[in-house]
Structure 1
Amino acid sequence: MATVSFHLKEPKADKPTAIFAFLSFDGRRVKVYSGLSVHPKQWIKADQRAKVRGYASNGKLNDSLELLEKKLLAYYGEQRALGLLPTSEALRILALPEEVEAPTQAALTFWDYFNEWIALTRDRGKVRTAQTYATALRHLREFQEAKGYAVDFDTITPIFGDRYTAYLLTTAGLTDNTIEKMVSRLKRFMKYAADRGFHTNASYQKLNWRRQEPDIMTLTAEEVAALEALDLPAGGYLDNARMLFLLSCYTGLRYSDLVSIRSEHVRGHMLRITTQKTRETVSIPLQARALLIVTRYLAGGVRLITNQKLNFYLKQLGQLAGIDSPLEVVRYKGGERLNSTVPKWEKLGCHTGRRTFVTLSLERGLRPELVMKITGHRDWKSFKRYVNITEQAVEREFAKVYEMPEPLLKTTK
């Protein structure tokens, strides 16, 4: 349902000021200027209309506001009947005076629609997803400027795909997996636009770039224990970061969900929360260690910090905990395998906690479908990216089955 409210641009001014409308719908609010003005002393805020008694000319002004309200609501109704949402630009066009020739909706450009898609994603509460879309838009703009290729709905073709991915690989210097993300986000936008009738070009479906599955980095049970055992000043910045990270290791929550926990989400020994990324409602059993942190968190004993700061502090924690086993880092550029070796703590990040939860839960005997239920994964393809069966787990399970001698176990650790 949509509603219209009228307001003054400068309600405390001592001269006529502009009147604008807010059209509120589907969690959004669009500001539309009416092209009319009135002196604040002649405005009745409660009625959202101008005074008529003593100001006969204000009758026509109120009639114009009434007409604008009907036009905005009618247009909203027409768009929703088509399964669409009205665009900000189209709503503003409705407010233009009749004698002004209004531009058609076709005047909106590819870039306008892309920005609107980003704004709509942000308005739906998916802030981090909107940021990734904004990054994809930036790469497209930079490609157009650098290569002189006119990016538009009709020019997103396989030829464009060849030139764009070559640019991302060479000029932008992106890895294969990042290029695949840029291509996927563009295709997602093109589908969104096609579903709403903004274009009829189906060639975008042929855009493709091969994703190279990266190695999954998780912590072992011993490394998690080393973090737990660190002697840190209580309440200090590293202790605070450790609690946030360990809570992810114990629950499988993403960073965006960790910082969204509220008291109403806790039901005894269960945490029931709707995830920020997928809007999936998950129920997570809280083991004793997790419940202790959640209780402290809700009491204000855990401070929220940014994703970037947490990643920075985690590297310090990993170094202090001796999580320094050699880690081979593999990247692919144009199908070429590039690898380097770094101490494991250098690659510690927020998402390591979620992957660690998945891997350790499987190692300890939880069935995959139960773990997927807790983490909110809907299919095995996406879930398997979080699974990293460690060498220690392979060794332990192999020993159980084949009765490996104890001395051999010790020498191979």
Structure 2
Amino acid sequence: MKYKMNYRFYLEKRFKKGTNTVEAKRLEKQGKPIGKYLNPNETAINIGITYNERYLKVGTGIRVLAKHFNVDKQRVLSSHPDCVEINNKLEHIKSSIKNRHYSLVLKGKTPSIATIKSIMEEEAKGIAARLDTTDFFKIFDKYMEEKSKMIKHQTFKNYQTFRTCMVDFVKAGYKLNIDAIDEVFWNQFYTFCAEEKNYLNNTTAKQVRCLKTFCNWMYEKNYIDHQEYKKIPDREEDGEIIYLTWDEIEAIKNYDFDFKPRLGVVRDQFIFQIHTGQRIGDILKCKISDIMFDADTKQHYWKNYQEKGSRTKATYIPLSETAMQIVNKYAEDRPTDSYLFPSKSRQAINGDIKEICRYAGLDSEITITRYSGKKKVSITKEKWEMITSHIARKTFISQGLRNGIPKDIIMKITGHKDERSVRHYLNLDKEFISKEALRVWK
């Protein structure tokens, strides 16, 4: 019959890697045990359909151990605790595809190959998504349990934020299936982030990077068999970079905070960060004993142990005269194993920095433009309101590049791996562009 379709459920990877599958199947036909050849990890159940002499296949999103799947009956064995639920879902997928196919035939239509494939994907992934939503979070929690001992506290918090975002995604009625994290998913997630969460595109990109890192781990652990997620874009949009001018740095440096000693300490810490280009976490971990003098170069250095993921690397940060004045101020008459600056939460530090900048007169209005989806979002505030500890790092890079420090030197100090990361911080304003162009073209 012209419209006849043959259906088959099968395992994506039934046998373990390196198995002689011909030999294993021969033994199976002879009724001999083949347990030692079976894949020890859960693998996907796919559905394959022969239609008009073409073979089409899609993943159902359901995963089981090979020992729990009957190849001849194409069903999950009773030894699996959820066998009834899974088998009902497989039957529902098959009957739903079959019914939609015949519905088109009865209307006098001849479904194309593309139409049948689309029906298969909609029905298979639709059923699987309802089954696998909890699996996504169970697997993610396993991932976090494994990674929590190797990642920094801030990175852990970023992943907690990502998990909350994905929970909200599901609560909003979207499907979440580990075997369907692809461009179709991306379109839905992008819409959700822009329209329901009102995320700026760069915030969405950060969530996607968390997702892709998690997917890489799932692929390595054989939870998923595809890498479609790699096609999802995660590059941040370039925008205006906020940094401090030399006049603003001097205004902050020279402001008298005797009336609020707390702000004076944070101000000194902020200036030290501007002169060294390090993250606030590194600044807070700096010990007096980490400051050293090199007799050969006659230069003071800060031996900073920069953390990147689970790795730690010692970097020698040259200290300017201003930075050393601050070191001497806070190291005097204190044990060498003391931290240079007092411990304080990042939130409190950023609040103090805003107050410091307001006192120092950083009240010019600045406007930054970002995008949420395709919607342009313009934010206008006084400059002090936009200053955080991270602006110190941006200032170090921006002013360094503007004043001729080579990119590779800046990258060595800041710990950046590629030039794109450094260029992201560079703000070439109109005055600087004009000055540099006219320096050559008189």
2:419 counterpart letter in structure 1: W
Change (3 A) 1:401 1:148: closer
Note the C-alpha offset of 1:302.
3.3
CA contact (8 A) 2:183 2:228 kept: yes
Query: Are positions 1:132 and 2:158 aligned together?
Result: yes
- Residue matched to 1:169: 194
The 1:270–1:321 alpha-carbon spacing in structure 2 relative to 1, beyond 3 Å, is: same
Equivalent residue letter for 2:166: L
- Provide the secondary structure at the position in 1 that maps to 2:368: strand
Partner in structure 2 of residue 111 of structure 1:
137
Q: Which moved more, 1:161-170 or 1:223-232?
A: 161-170
Larger-gyration structure (1/2):
2
8 Å contact kept, 1:255–1:350: yes
Deviations 1:350-409 (A, max 9, x none): 100001111222233322211111111121111111212345544655675578xxxxxx
Shift of 1:325: 2.0
TM-score calculated relative to the size of structure 2: 0.63
1:190 lines up with 2:223 in the alignment: no
**What letter matches 1:356 in structure 2?**
T
Name the structure 2 match of 1:385: 424
Percent identical residues: 25
Distance in 2 (alpha carbons) for counterparts of 1:126 and 1:103 = 38
- In structure 2, how many angstroms separate the alpha carbons of the residues matched to 1:186 and 1:377? 22
- TM-score norm. by structure 1 comes to 0.67
Give the aligned partner of residue 96 of structure 1.
Answer: none
Q: Give the 3-state SS of the residue equivalent to 2:376 in structure 1.
A: strand
What is the alpha-carbon distance in structure 1 between the residues aligned to residue 304 and residue 315 of structure 2?
6
Once the two structures are TM-superposed, the CA of residue 209 in structure 1 deviates from its matched residue by 5.2
RMSD over aligned CA atoms reads 2.8
| 1:287 equivalent in structure 2 | 320
Are the counterparts in 1 of residues 278 and 414 from structure 2 also a CA contact under 8 Å? yes
Letter in 1 for 2:153: V
Note closer, same or farther for the CA distance 1:182–1:224 as it changes in structure 2 (3 Å cut). Answer: same
Q: Are the equivalent residues in 1 in contact too, given 2:181–2:228 (CA < 8 A)?
A: yes
The aligned runs of 1:231-270 (5 Å cut-off) are 231-233=256-258, 236-268=261-293, 269-270=300-301
Secondary structure in structure 2 of the residue aligned to 1:276 = strand
Alignment of 1:314-325 (within 5 A): 314-325=353-364
**C-alpha contact 2:369 2:379 (8 A) present in aligned 1:** yes
Is the contact between residue 257 and residue 263 of structure 2 (CA under 8 Å) also seen in structure 1? yes
Q: Distance in 1 between the 2:285 and 2:320 partners?
A: 19
**Structure 1: unaligned runs, 5 residues or longer:** 1-78, 80-100, 404-413
For residues 254 and 322 of structure 1, the distance between their equivalents in structure 2, rounded to whole angstroms, comes to: 25
Partner of 1:221: 246
Deviation at 1:141, TM superposition (A): 1.1
Q: Which amino acid aligns with 2:362?
A: I
Contact kept? 1:359, 1:388, Cα under 8 Å: yes
CA distance in 2, matches of 1:371, 1:315: 26
Give runs of aligned pairs for residues 329-348 of structure 1, distance below 5 A: 329-348=368-387
Name the structure 2 match of 1:72: none
Q: 1:251 to 1:395 in 2, by over 3 A?
A: same
Q: Deviations over 1:21-48 (max 9, x none)?
A: xxxxxxxxxxxxxxxxxxxxxxxxxxxx
Matches of 1:323 and 1:282, distance apart in 2: 33
Q: What amino acid sits opposite 1:290 in the alignment?
A: A
Deviations 1:200-232 (A, max 9, x none): 132222223563212111001111000011011
Check conservation: 1:176, 1:209, Cα contact below 8 A. Answer: no
| Equivalent AA in structure 2 for residue 144 of structure 1 | V
| TM alignment of 1:347-366, pairs within 5 A | 347-366=386-405
User: Partners of 1:301 and 1:376 in 2: how far apart?
Assistant: 21
Which among 304, 308, 322 is matched to residue 273 of structure 1? 304
Inter-partner Cα distance in structure 2 for 1:128 and 1:240: 24
State how many pairs are aligned: 302
1:154 aligned partner: 179
Q: How does 1:93-108 map to 2 (within 5 A)?
A: none
Q: Partners in 2 of 1:327 and 1:225 — Cα distance?
A: 20
Deviations 1:181-211 (A, max 9, x none): 1112101100011112222132222223563
For 1:374, which of 396, 410, 413 is the aligned residue? 413
- Structure 2 gap ranges (5+): 1-40, 42-78, 83-131, 294-299
CA contact (8 A) 1:153 1:201 kept: no
Check conservation: 2:366, 2:383, Cα contact below 8 A: yes
Matched-pair contact (CA < 8 Å) for 1:311–1:350: yes
User: What displacement does 1:120 show?
Assistant: 3.4
Distance 1:238 1:103 in 2: 61
Aligned partners of 2:162, 2:387: CA distance in 1, in Å?
Answer: 25
Letter of the aligned partner of 2:168 in structure 1? E
